[in-house]
């Protein structure tokens, strides 16, 4: 099995109410990434991506624009030591 990169990402801007979570789930699944995405109370979206380093990097680039109605103003990326416990890529509902 190859190298795995896991990151936690917080996306700021107009990212709630624009299908950002569904778009993220579709893009991540299409790339074979595991992890999750959720809305946060402060109006941002948080995601965890885990997979091949180059695929995670590609997903981070995509997140900087998001779906058509989104207006991303900033992204904060934190490297994680451990991949997520769950399989697949899920939308979390708090």
Q: Classify residue 94: in a domain, yes or no.
A: no
pLDDT single digits (tens) 19-60? 999 999 999 999 999 999 999 999 999 999 999 999 999 999
**Given 26, 29, 31, 39, the catalytic residue:** 39
> Is the Cβ–Cβ distance between 23 and 66 less than 8 Å?
yes
Mean pLDDT, range 72-90, rounded to an integer: 93
| Residue 64 to residue 14: CA distance in whole angstroms | 12
List the one residue out of 7, 5, 16 whose CA is nearest residue 73: 16
**Count of domains in the chain?**
1
> Is the Cβ–Cβ distance between 64 and 74 less than 8 Å?
no
**Which CATH number covers residue 51?**
3.30.70.100
Residue 21 annotated to the active site: yes
> Is the Cβ–Cβ distance between 84 and 92 less than 8 Å?
no
Q: Classify residue 93: in a domain, yes or no.
A: no
Q: Is the per-residue pLDDT at 1 higher than 60?
A: no
Q: Classify residue 78: in a domain, yes or no.
A: yes
**Given 14, 21, 29, 78, the catalytic residue:** 21
Q: Classify residue 12: in a domain, yes or no.
A: yes
Q: Classify residue 91: in a domain, yes or no.
A: no
| Domain extent for 29 | 5-83
| Two structure tokens written together for 67 | 């779906």
């Amino acid at each position: 099995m190859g190298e795995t990169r896991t990151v936690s990402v917080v996306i700021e801007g107009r990212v709630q109410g624009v299908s950002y979570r569904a778009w993220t789930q579709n893009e991540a699944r299409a790339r074979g990434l595991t992890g999750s995405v959720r809305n946060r109370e402060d109006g941002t979206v948080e995601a965890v991506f885990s997979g091949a380093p180059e695929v995670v990097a590609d997903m981070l680039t995509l997140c900087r624009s998001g779906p058509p109605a989104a207006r991303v103003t900033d992204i904060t990326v934190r490297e994680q030591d451990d991949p997520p416990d769950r399989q697949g890529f899920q939308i979390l509902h708090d």
